[in-house]
Structures are given as C-alpha cells and as structure tokens.
Structure 1
Amino acid sequence: MEAQLLELARAAGTTMVTLMATDAWQRSRDGFAALWRRAGGARPEAIEDELAATRDDLLLARQSDDADAEQELIGEWSGRVRRLLRDHPEIAEELRVVLNELDPEGADRPATVNMRAEARDSARVYQAGRDQHITEG
C-alpha cells in the first residue's frame, strides 16, 4: 500500500476517534458510516454500532485519564481504515473529502511534527509547522 494511503488511514483513525468526544460526533459518525457503507467494507451494516461502542470506550478512557486506551482506539480505527483502503482504494478521494469537511486542516497535515533547532552567536532559526511569513526591515 502506498505511503499516502497509509498516512490517510492514520489521519482518518485519529480524526474519527478525536471527534467522538466533541460536538461533531454525530456528523462525523454519519460521514464515516456512509463512506463505509458505500465502499461495502467488512460488515457495513454494523459500522454505526462499532463507532458508538468506540465512543463509549473513548469517553471512559478520558474520564479515567487513560491516554494509552485512547491511542489503542486510534490504532484500531487506523487499521480498519487501512484495510478498507487496501480493499477499496477508489474511495481514498472520498475519504479525503469527508476528512476535510470534518476538519478542513486536519486531512492534509501530518499527524505529528517534530522540530529541533540550535542557534549560536547571532544566528537565527525560523521553524514552522505550516505557513510562515518573515518580514525583516
């Protein structure tokens, strides 16, 4: 599976689980469930129930400050989306559209950005995880 589809699956898993604990839960559930049904993924009729069960697990994990459980849920859904994309690569663009509708900046950015810099003497370091505009006069 190509790297872009793997990254898309990770982004989708992260977005799905993250939005389960927000006001966007119903909209995100509906969008992902509809996509899953159209793709004909494994057990498409049960996807809404599985999303609801995951949401219950996520809320319980957040109540008990169990970050590991939350990461496990993200990993589980990233894997499910990866398998769905493997079996139905034609839905990748539709998944990007769903992600962009739910989180306009989230679908196109990497899940993590790590930066490190050192400046010595009178050197300058400019770093940005996104757009950066520098005006020096």
Structure 2
Amino acid sequence: MDPIVLAAGTALVSAMATDAWQRTAAAITDLWKRARDTEGEVIAPDRIPNELDTLRTNVVRARTDSDAEMEESLTGLWRLRLHALIEQNPSLAEDLRSLVRERLLPEVDDRARVRVETLIQQSAKVSGGTSYMAGRDMRVHSGEETS
C-alpha cells in the first residue's frame, strides 16, 4: 500500500478525534467529490459526510473506552477506502499528499504526527537464538511460570 495512503488513514482517524474534525471531514469530502467521475466508486460522494460522522463517533467511543484495537480497525478501514479511491483515480494521489501535509497533519497532536510521519523498518537475523521485535507494545513470557 502506498505510504501516503497509510499516513492519510492514520492522520484522518487521529484528526477526527480533535476539535478540527469538521474541517477534516470537509477536506476528505472534497477529495471524494473530485473523484466523482470514476466508475465503481468506493463510497458515493454524497454518502461521505455521513460516513465521516460515523467514523468520528466510533473514534471518540474507542478513545473513551481505551479501545486501541477498534481505533486501529477504523484506521485500517479508511486506509483501504483511500487506497481504493487512489487506485480508481491515480491523479488524486498528489491531492491526497497535499491534504495530509497541509490539512490533516496540522490537526493531530505530536504523538499522532510521529506515528504518521515515521516509517519504521525492522529486520533481524538470528542464528541459534530468539529475536523479538515489535512496532508497538510487546509482552514476552518465558516458558517458565512462577507461582
């Protein structure tokens, strides 16, 4: 998946939980309207405002409930939607890049910005041992249990 789509999905969900969600929703709706001429649209442009309102409701609920899995699922869903939109209309890729840089990233907090702007690559070569790697939280338990 295009890194800009990954960043856009993350920034969109992060921005939806801020006071600037209306500006964010308007920017995404505008992007969708520019794709109106494509066939087989992912979501009809006139449905996008309702979809984004639902996204905001779900993001706020996930954050209130400290439900990181739900927030990650919503991010994944919108990454897929944006990916499909760009696949159907590649000329919108630069518009999406501009939207992320100029509208979405300024709306999210520094922690979210780091998640969006940082692409982490991990690799390990292990011989005769074990390697543990994570892009986020990790809990490792040894084979021995304590009482």
The verdict on a shared fold, with TM-score over 0.5 as the criterion, is: yes
- Note the alpha carbon deviations across 1:54-79, whole angstroms, 9 max, x for none: 11011111111100000000000000
- With structure 1 as the length reference, what TM-score do the two structures score? 0.72
Alignment of 1:1-137 (within 5 A): 6-40=2-36, 41=41, 42-102=43-103, 103=105, 110-113=117-120
CA contact (8 A) 1:12 1:99 kept: yes
- Note the alpha carbon deviations across 1:23-74, whole angstroms, 9 max, x for none: 2211111101101111124311100100100110111111111000000000
CA contact (8 A) 1:20 1:58 kept: yes
Identify if the C-alpha distance between structure 1 residues 30 and 97 changes in structure 2 by more than 3 Å, giving closer, same or farther.
same
User: Take 1:86 and 1:19, find their aligned partners in 2: how far apart are those partners?
Assistant: 24
**2:88 is matched by which residue type in structure 1?**
D
Any stretches of 5+ residues in structure 2 without a counterpart? 124-147
User: Take 1:26 and 1:71, find their aligned partners in 2: how far apart are those partners?
Assistant: 21
Fraction of identical pairs, as percent? 35
Instruction: Quote how far apart the aligned CAs of 1:100 are.
Output: 1.1
- Secondary structure in structure 1 of the residue aligned to 2:19: coil
CA contact (8 A) 1:7 1:110 kept: no
CA-atom RMSD in angstroms? 2.2
